[in-house]
Amino acid sequence: MILAVETATLATSVALLRGEELVAEWTHVDRTPHSERLLPAIDALLQGAGVTIGQVDAFAVSAGPGSFTGLRIGIATVKGLAFGSERPVAAVSTLAALALGGADGAAPVAALLDARRGEVYAAVFGPNGARLAADAVLTPDALAGRLAPGTRVVVGEGAGPAAAALARRLGAGVCLLGPSSGLARAHAVGVLGARILAHGEGVAAALVAPRYVRRAEAEVRRTGERFEPKAL
């Protein structure tokens, strides 16, 4: 039994899965802070499914990239729920979860989220879900150079302008998917989390950290480096 949490965007989404099978999901999008609605959503989800938090075997959490504040809230909540137990946590790329929602099994998939400053967070995956490019911060032109013809592009939150620029450059060579495919959902986080856990790659909750990809401005000023050294 896996409890999955997604708070990397405006969407607050929680899901309960048995392996990769969805048991229940709750997803809502507005500007209410995640800190106000995440725990009540988890409580309502578990109660509706007739499951206690003690019956949850593992957790999956969207670890970024995305909203700095949203990621911290989601990960801190999972750490609190897992505290004092040995239940593992699967840290899932937000972009990988978005890509899963737009996959058809026949074409490569790229997932986008707004990174501001005219750039997007982006990652590219093969038809079988294998990662072809690490999570990165790219301009639309740089991303266009990485996309194979026929790639399905999942347009996540705030990435509309970049997607329009891709469409102008690539024309029929790109298939833009959104907004339903580009909604961050805990179901996809849970499915990918189940696969991570099945491979024995879950970690202790204390070891889970957000993957911002691009550093916050204060970190840029402190270190002189815009990007984190590793991606998910």
Question: What's the sign of the alpha-carbon dihedral 132, 138, 141, 142?
Answer: negative
Q: Which residues, other chains included, contact 161 with Cβ-Cβ below 8 Å and sequence gap of 6+?
A: none
Q: Say what the pLDDT of residue 215 is.
A: 53
| 3-state DSSP assignment of residue 206 | helix
Describe the crossing of helices 68-82 and 34-49 by its angle, rounded to 10 degrees. Answer: 40
Which pLDDT score is estimated for 164? Answer: 94
Q: Which residues of 185-203 are buried (b: 16+ CB within 10 A; e: fewer)?
A: bbbbbbbbbbbbbeeeebe
Residues forming a β-bridge with 11: 29
Sign of CA dihedral 89, 134, 140, 100: negative
> CATH number of the domain at 2-94+184-223, please?
3.30.420.40
Measured CA to CA, the distance from residue 72 to residue 184 in angstroms comes to: 16
pLDDT of residue 2: 98
User: For the whole model, what pTM was predicted?
Assistant: 0.91
Please report the pLDDT score of residue 90 as a whole number. 98
Contact, 98 vs 194, CB < 8 A? no
Q: Say if residues 154 and 109 touch (Cβ distance below 8 Å).
A: yes
User: Residue ranges per domain, the chain?
Assistant: 2-94+184-223, 95-177
Q: Does domain 95-177 have CATH number 3.40.1740.10?
A: no
Angle at 18 between CA 126 and CA 104, to 5 degrees: 25
C-alpha 120: how far from chain center? 14
The ranges of the chain with pLDDT < 70 are: 215-232
What pLDDT score does 84 carry? 84
